Amino acid sequence: MTTQTALEPDHATLDSERATDSERVFPPAALPGAAIAGAALGLAFIALGAVAVRDIAVRANWLDGQAWSVTAAQWIADLQWQNWMWPAAVGAIVVGLVLLWIAVKPRRRTHLALAGGDGMWTRPGDVARRCSAAVSDLPGVLDADTVVTRRKLTCTVVVRSQVADRALIDSTVAAVAADLLSPPRVVVRLRDRAPRSIR
């Protein structure tokens, strides 16, 4: 009589694979600028393709007229250097440098890394909403508005100064910022409102 037992998972192997996978994950980023430039160039090439199809139809006597590509080639061949070509040449160089920079510049990161685990991100807007909600629940707080960037968290709090605890508000905002892998600089601004403004 033989019995079969389930193999226990190798936790060391799973941990190493998880670490390797987290290193391969790229942080969320915005659409690369090259995508927009590429789409514009793609439309330009589609237009050139339409011109080529039209010229083929002309050569096959399906359409009347002269091939546009031949006309453009003859016009270019007859050109001579003129003063207006200097700005055109400089403009072409500038456009080329801009396209080169768009192709190589890093993509803008859209999310912030969380300190609770590898490969976990959140949006700045979500951090701002969480901070505002946490501060709004504190005694003496009438309203809270938070703006979060990669380097700075600014929380503007409308309070009743007789009831609100500045130290508690500061610690609450700091606790929300501490959930991020790279906590931003925290700025808390208090605005006092008279009791009659309470709704």
pLDDT digit string, tens, across residues 166-182: 999 999 999 999 999 99
pLDDT digit string, tens, across residues 86-122: 999 999 999 999 989 988 998 888 999 998 777 889 9
pLDDT digit string, tens, across residues 133-158: 999 999 999 999 999 999 999 999 99
The stretch 124-141 carries a mean pLDDT of 95
Mean pLDDT score of the chain, rounded to an integer? 85
User: What is the DSSP secondary-structure string of 74-143?
Assistant: HHHHT----TTHHHHHHHHHHHHHHHHHHHHSPPPB-SEEBTTSTT-EE-HHHHHHHHHHHHHTSTTEEE
What is the side-by-side strand order in the sheet with 185-192? 141-148, 152-159, 185-192
pLDDT surpassing 60 at residue 65: yes
